[in-house]
Amino acid sequence: MNDLSQASLNAFQLLFSGNDDLWEVISLSFGVSFSAILIATPFALVIAFILAFFQFPFRRTLISLFNTFMSVPAVIIGLTLYLILSRSGPLGDLRLLFTSKAMVIGQIMLSFPLLVAMAHASFQSADRRAWETAITLGAAPSRAFFTLMYEVRFGLIAAIVAGFGRVVAEIGCSMMVGGNILHSTRNIPTAIALETSKGEFAQGIALGMVLLVLSLSLNAGVSIFQGKGELQA
């Protein structure tokens, strides 16, 4: 079968023919994932910082928990969230099921453990003395926190990029709580699944390429920000 080359060719034509449905799907996908990461990141960073710099009971258990939750399948998060948001579930009155808001919530839940675990690892690698020095020099804890974040910025950016990568490509949760509704909750991964099940492989490949290209530009931007990506002397 030379389906792949034919499908890729058709995919390019679709992308540049100004197919409105296609671009609607793309903008929903990125809107939802950006919102989720934007909401999740500040909380995740604070938690990661607390886990790295303070001693308290069950700290290690908590760290293990976050590490474990990184490997929960997206569809399990989706199913859990579905049962909570269902009209017969505890938060059914909010009427969030099958909306893009539900997808944002799902992606927050998905990215949160990853963000915490990776940010925690970065904070751990920071020099504790940076924090202590800042405090000793009379910096307010919030100011010292920002200084520390600056110290480990590359690790934190890597965490955010990885978090975004996980949510923008996930399908199980979006399908379950979004419902893949046209003009409303259809994002790139659910659209790919739908097009594939219809036998419209070109459309599926086109969407896959968009995801790749956009992720590539995102990572290119990050790598410019990170400089040469080498250890500084």
Binding residues for another protein (CB under 8 A): 1, 3, 86-89, 92-95, 97-98, 101, 179-182, 184, 194, 196-199
d(CA 175, CA 136): 51
Q: Which uninterrupted H or E stretch holds 132? A: helix 128-136
Q: Which uninterrupted H or E stretch holds 42? A: helix 20-53
Cβ-based nearer residue to another protein, 78 or 155: 78
How much helix, strand and coil, in percent to the nearest 5, is found in the chain? 75, 0, 25
The distance of closest approach from Cβ of residue 77 to another protein in the complex, given in angstroms and rounded to an integer, is 17
C-alpha distances out from residue 172 to 78, 124, 130, 209, Å: 6, 32, 42, 20
The distance of closest approach from Cβ of residue 102 to another protein in the complex, given in angstroms and rounded to an integer, is 11
Mention every residue, 6+ apart, whose C-beta is less than 8 A from residue 39.
104, 108
Cβ-based nearer residue to another protein, 161 or 191: 191
The distance of closest approach from Cβ of residue 150 to another protein in the complex, given in angstroms and rounded to an integer, is 36
Buried b (16+ CB within 10 A) or exposed e, 216-229: eeeeeebeeeeeee
The distance of closest approach from Cβ of residue 41 to another protein in the complex, given in angstroms and rounded to an integer, is 23
The distance of closest approach from Cβ of residue 39 to another protein in the complex, given in angstroms and rounded to an integer, is 15
Terminal CA-CA length for the chain: 53
Cβ-based nearer residue to another protein, 111 or 190: 190
Cβ-based nearer residue to another protein, 60 or 87: 87
Cβ-based nearer residue to another protein, 95 or 143: 95
Measured CA angle at 228 (ends 225, 229), to 5 deg: 85
Cβ-based nearer residue to another protein, 114 or 175: 175
The distance of closest approach from Cβ of residue 197 to another protein in the complex, given in angstroms and rounded to an integer, is 5
Q: Indicate the length of the chain as a whole number.
A: 233
